[in-house]
């Protein structure tokens, strides 16, 4: 009760918990304060000489606000929201802004309901955004369509924080009526604006876009900040922009930055954390530690109007971490609403299993054969060149030598489309990799040395989907992703073991058979990331926004 909280703050009655002898990270006054933190009814009552029913001596450790991941897709970790919470809360994350557009593209409203229900079973604050691009572009063929009218209904019926990343820049700039209807339905709208600048950026921002996580240069970030956007510094698995973007942070524009991880694999999350890793890397690169915590904790709460969160101060929610080092590599305690949620790297809560029956068996194609992948090489046709980022380039080659064959197959049984192209950079030998992770429509992406191996890999996915690796026409690894072909319903440790087996198998057929290679394969069909991609109808020129 409010009266009890006020009396406890005055010292008239004991706090529930007192964290004693800490060094408190003060993101509001920008400093470090030595003292004790009192907690009553899940609220911080203040820093002072408090007595508690329970007193925990942190012995000089740092006491900081819980971390907020300002933009993620839970599906990229290949676990359910409940299991994701068990993975990230021990690493200090107490709130996330999640865009479930992966499962929405596969299962539509059923997928959104599943994510919301799974998230309710854990203490992590999961603020879901309503996906704005289902499908991602008018050229995609996904498992569902969410138009402007449906967006308005879903926004009214469900607890969404706002509109998820608007990837359809041409739709915004071209004043597409359906896109405008979506934009007008929400108070908050996340952005997705790689390489957008000048008057095009002006128009995009005028559409009501609040932020962007796609900056890869200081210049682009500073232009967007000066035009009113907030910038999410991304450090995921496939895209790592922190080292470049922190050069743009100054004391004057600090308030416009937050950290996010966007798409990050589970093995990396369990090893190094998400936002804690951003802090560690930023401080290691010379950022003031309190600035790093401000970006990690307080700023995203301001951006998304999460009142009373993001600081260790009176009246704020007791979302608190205790870390033995200021870089957050040794987090000992994590409190959520004043309740201990994780200790020494282990979650202290369990999650209920959410029924997956409405979001499984989503692969609806007939078995394929080697003949389905027949394609003659043409030196006048562009080849997708892969690198170490999600950006792919068009190149021309004189022969088929050293190239792999890639296909994008519509998997929902609606069009039967199959796009084919050659790819440079994976150098697959006598094998293939197929998966139902293919952003954002999540059709089947398969890459291999020849049609026979590719057919074996695609057929191994079955009705549930997942990731399959084939060598010599035999399946050598398969990871089932029963939830929409995107997520496993198993525990995090088991999911990591299965994924590591897939990565190990992929290395046998390609020198790039790693996490990065699988991530690139998952994004080769994303028609909104420059410069050339493969859709289910063939090669797509992202810059000209049309099929080649």
**Cα gap 501→492, rounded to integer Å:** 14
**Cα gap 404→448, rounded to integer Å:** 6
Long-range contact pairs involving 221-227 (C-beta distance under 8 Å, separation at least 24): 221/245, 221/248, 222/248, 222/253, 223/197, 224/193, 225/253, 225/256, 227/201, 227/202
In-domain check, residue 364: yes
Burial class (CB in 10 A: 0-12, 13-18, 19+), 514: middle
**Cα gap 297→39, rounded to integer Å:** 19
What CATH number corresponds to the domain at position 242? 3.20.20.140
Are 275 and 366 contained in the same domain? no
pLDDT at 253 over 70: yes
**Cα gap 284→31, rounded to integer Å:** 18
In-domain check, residue 88: yes
Mean pLDDT over the full length of the chain: 95
Are 86 and 226 contained in the same domain? yes
Report the DSSP pairing between strands 189-191 and 162-166.
Answer: parallel
Query: Mean pLDDT across the stretch 159-174?
Result: 94
For the stretch 497-507, pLDDT in tens is 999 999 999 99
Last residue within a domain, chosen from 269, 291, 308? 308
Q: What is the pLDDT of residue 42?
A: 98
Q: What percent of the chain has pLDDT over 90?
A: 90
In-domain check, residue 59: no
Query: Mean pLDDT across the stretch 379-386?
Result: 94
Are 497 and 403 contained in the same domain? yes
Q: Quick one: tokens of 233? A: 């510094």
Cβ–Cβ under 8 Å, residues 77 and 494: no
Are 377 and 486 contained in the same domain? yes
For residue 245, which of 198, 196, 197, 281 has the smallest C-alpha distance? 281
In-domain check, residue 191: yes
Q: Quick one: tokens of 185? A: 């339905």
For the stretch 439-479, pLDDT in tens is 989 999 999 999 999 999 999 999 999 999 999 999 999 99
Q: What is the pLDDT of residue 390?
A: 79
pLDDT category of residue 426 using cuts at 50, 70 and 90: confident
Are 187 and 262 contained in the same domain? yes
C-alpha dist (Å) from residue 129 to 74, 115, 144, 216? 12, 11, 17, 24
Are 525 and 437 contained in the same domain? yes
CA 228 to chain centre: 23
pLDDT at 513 over 80: no
In-domain check, residue 435: yes
Residue 526 DSSP one-character state: -
360 three-state secondary structure: coil
Q: Which domain holds residue 172?
A: 66-308
pLDDT category of residue 329 using cuts at 50, 70 and 90: very high
C-alpha dist (Å) from residue 79 to 118, 270, 342, 435, 483? 11, 12, 19, 16, 9
**Cα gap 371→229, rounded to integer Å:** 50
C-alpha dist (Å) from residue 364 to 188, 361, 440? 36, 8, 17
Are 280 and 374 contained in the same domain? no
For residue 112, which of 522, 489, 483 has the smallest C-alpha distance? 483
3 three-state secondary structure: helix
Q: Quick one: tokens of 86? A: 């068990």
Q: What is the pLDDT of residue 237?
A: 85
Beta carbons within 8 Å of 80's beta carbon, 6+ residues apart: 74, 118, 354, 483, 487, 488, 489
Query: Mean pLDDT across the stretch 332-343?
Result: 98
In-domain check, residue 35: no
In-domain check, residue 540: yes
First to last CA, the chain: 64
Beta carbons within 8 Å of 354's beta carbon, 6+ residues apart: 80, 82, 114, 117, 118, 121
Q: What is the pLDDT of residue 528?
A: 85
C-alpha dist (Å) from residue 97 to 72, 74, 241, 259, 380? 6, 10, 19, 11, 44
Are 231 and 85 contained in the same domain? yes
Last residue within a domain, chosen from 308, 340, 368? 308
For the stretch 338-374, pLDDT in tens is 999 999 999 999 887 899 999 999 999 999 999 999 9
CA 53 to chain centre: 39
In-domain check, residue 18: no
Are 232 and 364 contained in the same domain? no
49 three-state secondary structure: coil
Q: Which helix (H) or strand (E) holds 447?
A: strand 444-448
Query: Mean pLDDT across the stretch 255-261?
Result: 98
β-pair partners for 83: none
Are 385 and 300 contained in the same domain? no
For residue 518, which of 459, 427, 434 has the smallest C-alpha distance? 434
pLDDT at 280 over 70: yes
- Tell me how many domains the chain contains: 2
Last residue within a domain, chosen from 265, 289, 308? 308
Q: What is the pLDDT of residue 515?
A: 65
For the stretch 203-244, pLDDT in tens is 999 999 999 999 989 999 999 999 999 999 999 987 899 999
Query: Mean pLDDT across the stretch 151-166?
Result: 97
Are 93 and 164 contained in the same domain? yes
Are 446 and 376 contained in the same domain? yes
Q: What is the pLDDT of residue 316?
A: 98
For residue 471, which of 412, 514, 431 has the smallest C-alpha distance? 431
């Amino acid at each position: 009760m409010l009266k009890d909280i006020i009396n406890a703050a005055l010292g008239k009655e004991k706090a529930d918990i007192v964290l004693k002898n800490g060094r408190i990270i003060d993101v509001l006054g920008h400093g470090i304060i030595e003292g004790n933190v009192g907690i009553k009814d899940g609220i911080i009552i203040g820093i002072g000489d408090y007595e508690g029913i329970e007193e925990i001596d942190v012995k000089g450790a740092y006491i900081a606000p819980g971390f907020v991941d300002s933009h993620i897709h839970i599906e990229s970790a290949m676990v359910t929201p409940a299991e994701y919470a068990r993975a990230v809360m021990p690493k200090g994350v107490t709130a996330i802004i999640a865009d479930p557009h992966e499962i929405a593209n596969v299962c539509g409203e059923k997928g959104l309901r599943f994510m919301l229900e799974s998230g309710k079973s854990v203490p992590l604050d999961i603020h879901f955004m309503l996906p704005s691009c289902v499908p991602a572009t008018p050229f995609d063929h996904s498992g569902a369509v969410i138009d402007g009218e449906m967006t308005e209904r879903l926004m009214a019926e469900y607890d969404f924080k706002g509109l998820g990343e608007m990837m359809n820049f041409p739709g915004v700039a071209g004043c597409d009526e359906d896109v405008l209807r979506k934009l007008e339905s929400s108070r908050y709208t996340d952005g997705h604006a790689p390489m957008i600048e000048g008057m095009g950026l002006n128009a995009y921002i005028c559409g009501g876009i609040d932020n962007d996580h796609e900056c890869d240069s200081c210049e682009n970030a500073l232009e967007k900040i000066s035009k009113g956007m907030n910038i999410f510094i991304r450090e995921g698995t496939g895209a790592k922009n922190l080292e470049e973007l922190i050069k743009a942070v100054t004391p004057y524009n600090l308030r416009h930055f937050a950290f996010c991880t966007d798409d990050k694999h589970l093995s990396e999350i369990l090893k190094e954390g998400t936002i804690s890793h951003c802090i560690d890397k930023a401080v290691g690169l010379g950022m003031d530690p309190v600035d790093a915590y401000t970006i990690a904790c307080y700023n995203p709460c301001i951006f998304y109007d999460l009142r009373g969160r993001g600081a260790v101060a009176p009246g704020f929610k007791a979302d608190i971490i205790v870390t033995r080092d200021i870089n957050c590599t040794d987090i000992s305690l994590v409190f959520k609403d004043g309740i201990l949620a994780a200790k020494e790297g282990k979650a202290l809560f369990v999650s209920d299993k959410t029924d997956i029956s409405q979001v499984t068996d989503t692969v609806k194609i007939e078995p394929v054969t080697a003949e389905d992948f027949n394609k003659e090489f043409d030196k006048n046709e562009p080849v997708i060149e892969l690198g170490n980022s999600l950006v792919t380039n068009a190149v021309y080659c004189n022969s088929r030598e050293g190239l792999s064959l890639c296909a994008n197959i519509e998997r929902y049984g609606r069009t039967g489309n199959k796009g084919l192209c050659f790819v440079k950079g994976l150098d697959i030998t006598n094998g293939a990799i197929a998966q139902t992770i293919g952003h954002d429509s999540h059709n089947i992406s398969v890459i291999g040395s020849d049609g026979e191996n590719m057919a074996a890999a695609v057929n191994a996915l079955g009705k549930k989907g997942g990731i399959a690796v084939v060598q010599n026409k035999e399946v050598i690894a398969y990871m089932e992703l029963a939830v929409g072909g995107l997520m496993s319903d198993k525990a995090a440790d088991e999911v990591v073991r299965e994924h590591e087996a897939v990565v190990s198998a992929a290395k046998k057929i390609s020198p790039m058979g790693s996490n990065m290679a699988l991530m690139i394969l998952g994004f080769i069909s994303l028609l909104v990331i420059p410069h050339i991609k493969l859709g289910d109808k063939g090669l797509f020129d992202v810059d000209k926004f049309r099929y080649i």
